[in-house]
Amino acid sequence: MRLNPITRKRLQRFRRIRRGFYSFVILASLTLLSLFSNYLANRRAIVVSYEGSLYFPTFQYHDMATFGQQDEYGFEDVEADYLALQATFDAADSGNWVIMPPVPHDPYEPDFDYEKPPPNAPDSRHWFGTDSQGRDVFARLLYGFRISILFALILVFVGQAAGTAIGSLQGFLGGRFDIYSQRFIEVWSTLPFLYVVILLATFFKPGFLLLLAIMSLFEWIRMTYYMRTEMYREKTKEYCLAARSFGASRWRLIFRHLLPNCLTPLVTITPFAIVGAISALTALDYLGYGLPAPTPSWGEMIDQALASHNRDKIWLSVAPFSAISITLLLVTLIGESIREAFDPKQYAHYR
């Protein structure tokens, strides 16, 4: 499917809108970094050099016996303590070394090496402090971003693809297919989303794939209205009639001629759909119907921050609220810039 000249001009115009383009670069960079969260925040070392051999603990489990360690009870068959191993190697100066991630803490592992019970305020060991269970807030924030953005991208891709396909067929075929499918969509859209989630959560264990499947059942609806309207409008234009007269098949007509000219609503709606997906996942996690514990989740972090016994622990609320606000701001700026770049008035000429 080749982009037409107007679409290419719109993409060039988007690059000239700095607030949107730079927001896209920042968000894309953060998303790319989040894919390597295991190397940025983890209690396991990235590389260990021990007695001439290299070990990669992020890929493979190693017990304490591998590196000559013992825990406080004398056991060697538990996982190695890489922070302690790093301190031992540095003190011995024997040529062995350990490379730890920038944040040497796991989003699931509690840290109880404080005099006071958690949550503990930010310090040099935990940059953003620890939560009510002693887990590193920054690590959970980073992993929570990865889960939120990947969930939103997958959900929007599935929803927009299904909505584009169904709406395009409605507009192109018309007739009884359009009437019956439109009546079905109208009935389906009246189902209360939250009640459906609560009902299914009582029968099935909540999880990433289950939430994705449930939300995908509703995500496609809005896109069908736009694509149906666009397809109805485009199929009556002269270029489409000319393609028909030259013997273009039905599928060639759709994919080669009509869809490239119906991309405007798809492109402009997608960023705002991502905002809605992130907000919906955060809200479900906050209400307790989202991802299961102890999955790193912004909604669960907000729930902790708003608990009555944590009201004075300001770092618990600042971190997730700031992360959500910045992420949604970046996506919104991208969406507004795309909408401005794809504005039909920019390319309409009146005589």
Same domain? 239 vs 269? yes
Distance CA(122)–CA(33), nearest Å, equals: 23
| pLDDT value of position 351 | 44
Q: What angle do CA 229, 231, 233 make, to 5 degrees?
A: 70
166 pairs with which residues across the strands? none
Cis-peptide into 260, omega within 30 deg: no
Is residue 264 very low, low, confident or very high in pLDDT (cuts 50, 70, 90)? confident
pLDDT at 35 over 90: yes
Residue 108 placed within a domain: no
| pLDDT value of position 346 | 64
Same domain? 85 vs 144? no
Last residue of a domain, one of 52, 70, 100: 100
Same domain? 64 vs 78? yes
Residue 119 placed within a domain: no
Same domain? 86 vs 155? no
* Mean pLDDT computed over 284-300: 89
pLDDT at 350 over 70: no
pLDDT at 345 over 80: no
pLDDT at 53 over 50: yes
Residue 116 placed within a domain: no
| pLDDT value of position 342 | 82
Same domain? 235 vs 251? yes
pLDDT at 272 over 80: yes
Residue 175 placed within a domain: yes
For residue range 193-212, what is the model confidence (pLDDT) as tens digits?
888 888 887 788 878 998 99
Average pLDDT score over the chain: 88
DSSP H helices in 113-220: 137-173, 175-188, 193-203, 208-219
* Mean pLDDT computed over 28-46: 93
- Lowest-confidence range among 5-19, 71-85, 217-231, 269-283? 71-85
| pLDDT value of position 4 | 66
- Lowest-confidence range among 30-34, 304-308, 312-316, 347-351? 347-351
Q: Residue 168: which of 159, 158, 178 has the closest Cα?
A: 178
Q: Residue 132: which of 143, 123, 144, 140 has the closest Cα?
A: 140
Same domain? 165 vs 260? yes
Number of domains the chain contains: 2
Task: Identify the CATH number of the domain in which residue 254 sits.
Answer: 1.10.3720.10
Last residue of a domain, one of 100, 124, 148: 100
| pLDDT value of position 259 | 84
pLDDT at 3 over 70: no
For residue range 155-196, what is the model confidence (pLDDT) as tens digits?
999 999 999 999 999 998 888 999 999 999 999 999 888 888
Which CB contacts under 8 angstroms, 24+ apart, belong to 19-25? 19/333, 19/337, 20/333, 20/334, 20/336, 20/337, 20/338, 20/340, 20/341, 21/337, 23/329, 23/330, 23/331, 23/333, 23/334, 23/337, 24/330, 24/334
Same domain? 153 vs 202? yes
Residue 121 placed within a domain: no
Same domain? 166 vs 285? yes
Q: Residue 221: which of 255, 261, 254, 181 has the closest Cα?
A: 181
Same domain? 181 vs 55? no
Residue 226 placed within a domain: yes
Same domain? 179 vs 77? no
Last residue of a domain, one of 100, 131, 148: 100
Same domain? 202 vs 335? yes
Residue 322 placed within a domain: yes
* Mean pLDDT computed over 22-48: 94
Residue 49 placed within a domain: yes
- Per the structure, the complete domain to which residue 50 belongs is given by 43-100
- Lowest-confidence range among 19-33, 136-150, 247-261, 288-302? 247-261
pLDDT at 73 over 90: no
Same domain? 213 vs 179? yes
